Structure 1
């Protein structure tokens, strides 16, 4: 299973903004330069994260973005469920698309479904706070000044 780049980039945006302290603003340009991701693509992601009430956007000359919630309130598993829209690991996961002759007797779909639930159970045990615990190392790698 592979997550979409969109989800990967959304997590990176949250990690970056999660490293900012006391309401300090980040910019799409700044995030774009650190991760070498198109600012246009990041703009769409920031828009979506704002709609999900995970980011706050401040318009204007001194504007930017910041977390709208405390890092410990951003559940990684729930976020990935909201950003990803296709967890059909096999064709038979999609109702009405049973083209395989063994679908009625096949247990593979049940095994994979169980694995998918275990995947999310692990992810739901983590928050953004867990992803930024190594704050100093992350800041050094991103070129963010530490206070």
Structure 2
């Protein structure tokens, strides 16, 4: 399983909204400048996030985007699944129960299930607030003597 550029950029966009939340709406142009991602690419991503109810938007000169919830209420998994779909490492894990005709005799299925569980526990165990705290700590260590 490989997270696409869209998935990575979606997390960066959401993290930027969390870090720069002042109660005002934030323009994609500002996010684009900070994240070095084109406005056009961000527009595609934010449309999906908006349809899923993860961000709110307002049009116009004072318009922009903001989080629909507080950062602690988002998991990285929720954001990634909104953009990527399933995070399962193999297609046979997309169905529940597993519809694969070989599931009962497939020894590798145990490996794929463990890997899927590890992926989901990791991305669902990290909130946007956690990522914001990590980012602030990294920014705080940016000093010169």
**Above 0.5 in TM-score?**
yes
Deviation at 1:81, TM superposition (A): 2.5
Deviation at 1:75, TM superposition (A): 1.5
Deviation at 1:125, TM superposition (A): 1.3
Deviations 1:8-60 (A, max 9, x none): 11100000000123313221111112222221110011111111211111110
- SS of the aligned residue for 1:66 comes to strand
Matches within 5 A, 1:56-95: 56-87=56-87, 89-90=89-90
Where do 5+ consecutive residues of structure 1 fail to align? 142-147
Equivalent residues, number: 138
Q: 1:87 to 1:137 in 2, by over 3 A?
A: closer
What is the TM-score when the length of structure 2 is the normalising length?
0.78
Separation in structure 2 between the aligned mates of residue 73 and residue 128 of structure 1, nearest angstrom: 8
What is the TM-score when the length of structure 1 is the normalising length?
0.77
Deviation at 1:76, TM superposition (A): 1.5
Separation in structure 1 between the aligned mates of residue 39 and residue 100 of structure 2, nearest angstrom: 38
Separation in structure 2 between the aligned mates of residue 69 and residue 84 of structure 1, nearest angstrom: 21
Q: 1:91 to 1:60 in 2, by over 3 A?
A: closer
RMSD over aligned Cα atoms: 2.8
Deviations 1:54-98 (A, max 9, x none): 111111011111111100111222222232225453465578888
Where do 5+ consecutive residues of structure 2 fail to align? none
- SS of the aligned residue for 1:22 comes to coil
Show the counterpart of 2:9.
9
Show the counterpart of 2:46.
46
Structure 1 range deviating more: 81-90 or 25-34: 81-90
| CA contact 2:10–2:79 (8 Å) conserved in 1 | no
Say whether residues 1:23 and 2:23 are aligned partners.
yes
Separation in structure 2 between the aligned mates of residue 59 and residue 140 of structure 1, nearest angstrom: 37
